[in-house]
Amino acid sequence: MSVRLVGLVAATHTPFHGDGTLNLGAIEKQAGQLIGHGVLAAFVGGTTGESSSLTLLERKALAQRWAEVTKGTPLGLIVHVGSNCLADARELAAQAGQLGAMAISALAPSYFKPGNLELLIDCCAQIASAAPETPYYHYDIPAMTGMHLSMPDFLEKAGGKVKTLAGIKFSNPDLMAYQLCLRAAGGKYDMPFGCDEYILGAMALGCVGGVGSTYNFAAPVYQRLIKAFGRGDLEAARAEQNRSAQLVRLLASHGYMAAAKATMGFLGVDVGGPRLPNGNLSADGKARLRGELEQLGFFDWVS
């Protein structure tokens, strides 16, 4: 199934109230910020969305609300439906198809891991078949799943079984594999890149779109990067990419998930803190983070 995600897709946070319950009322503000920054689509319920810490009913409620909020707007909707339980993944995929999502995506099962490409492809085929009219992206993120199967080989073999396969959400730093994937099967597959802090390297190889968490709060940095690259101004593009790398390093030093969600709050979009097993920041920790972001120049970068 031919699709091209051109530009930025934000891997959105799942918003929580202070007691840890879903805060679906925050989604309208999340979407508004993304639209204001020219983001192409929201990728809902993925790693940034803490999907593995949500119940099936919560994931369905999250997708339903995002579909309601984005309807009639320029912001597209991509729903992550992956789960260790394939029956749950199929239920989420079917719902996303009914909601009219522009695409679905799924991680490989990662507790009982598919031991070879054939088993992985069988898993993908089962999930994708539950939404037969919706483009399907395999979500490759080996740092989280522990899956290290060849993605170029996956693309060469999966097309016959995964009828709606559109490409791969490639959250993998292996740029050699990435460029091979770009050319697999004659270049028919879309390959949105998922490592924000060096998307410029992927763009040099032919990347046209990215799915990432920092696009929630730093989209202007990447929009400038994309424009600079498009006009051949590599010096300016590298400067913006360096800002991205500094930002990611700073957030990671505080615990990335908690720091990223706190940063959303600093920008006026309160998505709460993360759920366990992710840690949260204390009030003092948030104050230190804000001071370090100010020192870095972050608020000027995104204003």
pLDDT of residue 39: 98
- What band does 224 get if pLDDT is binned at 50, 70 and 90? very high
pLDDT of residue 266: 98
User: How many C-beta atoms surround the C-beta of residue 303 within 10 A?
Assistant: 7
Specify whether domain 7-232 bears CATH 3.10.20.600: no
Of the listed 60, 136, 137, 169, which one is catalytic?
169
Rounded to 5 degrees, what angle do the CA atoms 120, 123, 8 make? 80
The question of whether 169 is a catalytic residue gets the answer yes
- DSSP bridge partners of 103: 78
- Please give the model's pTM, rounded to 2 decimal places: 0.96
pLDDT in tens, 54-93: 999 999 999 999 999 999 999 999 999 999 999 999 999 9
Going by C-alpha positions, the residue among 213, 212, 175, 167 that lies closest to residue 191 is 167
- What band does 3 get if pLDDT is binned at 50, 70 and 90? confident
CB 73 within 8 A of CB 112: no
Residue-range domain boundaries for the chain: 7-232
pLDDT in tens, 5-15: 999 999 999 99
pLDDT in tens, 102-138: 999 999 999 999 999 999 999 999 999 999 999 999 9
Distance from C-alpha of 246 to C-alpha of 115, rounded to nearest angstrom: 37
Q: Tell me the pLDDT of the chain averaged across its residues.
A: 97
CB 193 within 8 A of CB 166: no
Sign of the torsion angle spanned by Cα atoms 191, 192, 193, 194: negative
Structure tokens at 161: 């079984």
- What band does 45 get if pLDDT is binned at 50, 70 and 90? very high
Distance from C-alpha of 41 to C-alpha of 274, rounded to nearest angstrom: 22
The question of whether 163 is a catalytic residue gets the answer no
Mean pLDDT of 177-200: 96
Of the listed 136, 139, 215, 256, which one is catalytic?
139
pLDDT of residue 135: 98
pLDDT of residue 2: 75
Distance from C-alpha of 161 to C-alpha of 288, rounded to nearest angstrom: 51
- DSSP bridge partners of 170: 140, 193
Mean pLDDT of 93-100: 98
